[in-house]
Chains A and B, each alone.
Chain A
Amino acid sequence: MPVIPPLTVAVPLAFAAFLAATGSLIPRRAVTLTAIGAAAATTALQFAQLVQSLTHDLNHWFGGWTPQHHYALGILFTVDPIDAILACVVGVLMLASLSFSWWGIRDVSHLYYALMLAFLGGMAGFALSADLFDIFVFFELMSVTGYGLCSFRQTSSSVMQGALNFAIMNSIGAFFILMGISLIYGRTGSLNLAQISVSLRGTHPDMLVVVSFVFILVGFLTKAGAVPFHFWMSDAYAVAAAPVGALYAGIMSDLGYHAIARIYADGYAATLDSVAPSVSGILIGVGVATAVVGAVMCFGQADVKRQMAFLVISHGGIFLCGIGLLTGAGMAGATLYVAADAMIKGAVFLTIGYVVVTLGASDEFMLRGRGRRRRHLPAGLAFGLAGLGFAAVPGFGPWLSASLIQQSADAAGYTWLPPVLVVATAVTAATLLRSGGRIFLGWGGDRDPLLTSAQPDEPEEGEPQEESRISTVSLLPAGALLVAGFGMAFAPHLAGYATQAGRQFLDLPGYVAEVIHGRYPPPVTRLPAFHPTAGSWAYGAATTAGALGLAAASLAWSRARTHGLLTRVVLPPLRVLKAVHSGRIGDMATWLTVGAVALCAAGAVTLR
Chain B
Amino acid sequence: MTAGAPGTAVPIRRRDDHRAGPDDRPRQSTGGRQLRVAVFGAAAVVLGGFLLWALTGLPSFGDFHGEYGRLLNRVGVAQRRASNVVGAIVFDYRGFDTLGEEFILFSSVMGVAFILRGSLRIKDQSPLDPGGNDSLRVVGTLGAPVVLLLGLWLAAYGYVTPGGGFQGGVAVASAGALLWVSTTYRDYHRLTPPRLFDAIEGFGASAYVLIGLVGLGLSGAYLANFLPLGTPGTLASAGSIGLLNWAAALEVGAANFLLFREFFQEYIQTFPGVEQE
Binding site for B on A (CB under 8 A): 1, 3, 6-7, 10, 13-14, 16-25, 60-65, 68, 71, 73-75, 101, 103-107, 109, 111-112, 114-115, 118-119, 121-122, 125, 133-134, 137-138, 140-141, 144-145, 147-149, 151-159, 163, 179, 183, 185-191, 195, 199, 206-212, 238-244, 305, 353, 356-357, 360-362, 454-455, 458, 461, 464-466, 469-470, 474, 584, 586-587, 589-590, 593-594, 596-597, 600-601, 604
The answer to whether B103 and A594 touch across the interface, beta carbons within 8 angstroms, is no
Indicate whether A62 sits within 8 Å of B203 (C-beta atoms), given known contacts A153-B8, A185-B66: no
Closest to A461 in B: B12
CA distance A362 to B7 in the complex (A): 11
The answer to whether A190 and B67 touch across the interface, beta carbons within 8 angstroms, is yes
A249 to chain B, nearest CB (A): 13
A60, A141, A241: the one contacting B107 at CB < 8 Å is: A141
Main secondary structure of the interface of A (DSSP, over half): helix
A388 to chain B, nearest CB (A): 26
- Chain A residues, CB < 8 A from B222: 6, 10, 60, 62-63
The answer to whether B216 and A6 touch across the interface, beta carbons within 8 angstroms, is yes
- Chain A residues, CB < 8 A from B68: 71, 73, 189-191, 195
The answer to whether A586 and B36 touch across the interface, beta carbons within 8 angstroms, is yes
CA distance A190 to B68 in the complex (A): 6
The answer to whether A137 and B114 touch across the interface, beta carbons within 8 angstroms, is no
The answer to whether B6 and A106 touch across the interface, beta carbons within 8 angstroms, is yes
Interface magnitude class on chain B: 35 or more
Q: A63-B215, A65-B221, A208-B55 are in contact. List 9 more A-B contacts (CB 8 A).
A: A13-B103, A104-B6, A149-B111, A158-B10, A159-B10, A185-B66, A207-B53, A361-B11, A454-B10
B204 to chain A, nearest CB (A): 8
CA distance A593 to B51 in the complex (A): 12
A52 to chain B, nearest CB (A): 15
B36, B55, B93, B210: the one contacting A65 at CB < 8 Å is: B93
B39, B65, B112, B203: the one contacting A590 at CB < 8 Å is: B39
The answer to whether B223 and A356 touch across the interface, beta carbons within 8 angstroms, is no
The answer to whether A589 and B4 touch across the interface, beta carbons within 8 angstroms, is no
CA distance A112 to B115 in the complex (A): 11
The answer to whether B198 and A24 touch across the interface, beta carbons within 8 angstroms, is yes
- Chain A residues, CB < 8 A from B33: 586
Could you jot down 30 A-B contacts, CB within 8 Å?
A3-B216, A18-B202, A20-B201, A63-B92, A63-B93, A63-B221, A71-B67, A75-B94, A111-B117, A115-B114, A118-B110, A133-B97, A144-B107, A148-B107, A154-B118, A155-B10, A158-B9, A211-B53, A211-B54, A212-B54, A242-B6, A243-B7, A360-B11, A458-B13, A470-B6, A586-B36, A590-B36, A590-B39, A596-B43, A601-B50
A41 to chain B, nearest CB (A): 14
Indicate whether A104 sits within 8 Å of B104 (C-beta atoms), given known contacts A1-B221, A154-B119: no
List the 6 closest A-B pairs by CB distance, nearest first: A148-B111, A21-B202, A189-B66, A208-B57, A211-B54, A64-B221
List CB contacts (< 8 Å) of B155-206 with chain A. Answer: 195, 198-203, 205-206
- Chain B residues, CB < 8 A from A239: 9-10
- Chain B residues, CB < 8 A from A3: 216, 220
Indicate whether A151 sits within 8 Å of B114 (C-beta atoms), given known contacts A10-B222, A71-B71: yes
CA distance A61 to B212 in the complex (A): 12
CA distance A404 to B97 in the complex (A): 36
Indicate whether A63 sits within 8 Å of B114 (C-beta atoms), given known contacts A74-B94, A134-B97, A470-B6: no
CA distance A240 to B59 in the complex (A): 45
B259 to chain A, nearest CB (A): 12
The answer to whether A159 and B9 touch across the interface, beta carbons within 8 angstroms, is yes
